Amino acid sequence: MTSGDGDIREVPFSVTLARPDGAKVVIAVAGEIDLTTAEDLKETFEEALEPVPGRLVVDLEGVEFCDSTGLATLVRINDRCATRGVDLSFLPSPTIRRLALKTGLSTLLPLAGA
C-alpha cells in the first residue's frame, strides 16, 4: 500500500489464538495475508488443532489484503478441518468476502453471513 506521497505503508499483521472453552478455538487475523505472513497463519492453525477442537472460528474481519498464497492457506485450513471433523467458520472482512465471491471460493469456504 502507498500513502499519498508515494511512500510504502506497512500494514501490521497479527494472528492470535484463543480457547474460550474446551470445544471452541478462535483464530483472529488482522492486516495482510500474503506470501510473507501466510506461514504464521499456518503455524497458528496447526497449534489450534492440538488438541483437535470441535469448533474453529477464523476471524478475518481485520484482514485488509489477501493474495493467492493467503487464499490457498484458507482453502488448506478448510480441507484440514473437513478431514478432522472440525466445525469451521470464517468471519470474513469485506476484502475476504469480495475475493471469495470473485474466485468462486464462496461456495467452498464456510463464510459466516453468506
What is the pLDDT tens value at each position of the chain, 114 positions in all?
Answer: 444 455 555 678 999 999 988 789 999 999 999 999 999 999 999 999 999 999 999 999 999 999 999 999 999 999 999 999 999 999 999 999 999 999 999 999 999 975
What is the structure's pLDDT at 113? 79
Q: Read off the C-alpha cell for 1.
A: 500500500
What is the structure's pLDDT at 9? 53
Total-model pTM = 0.89
The dihedrals phi and psi of 98, each to the nearest 5 degrees, come to -60, -45
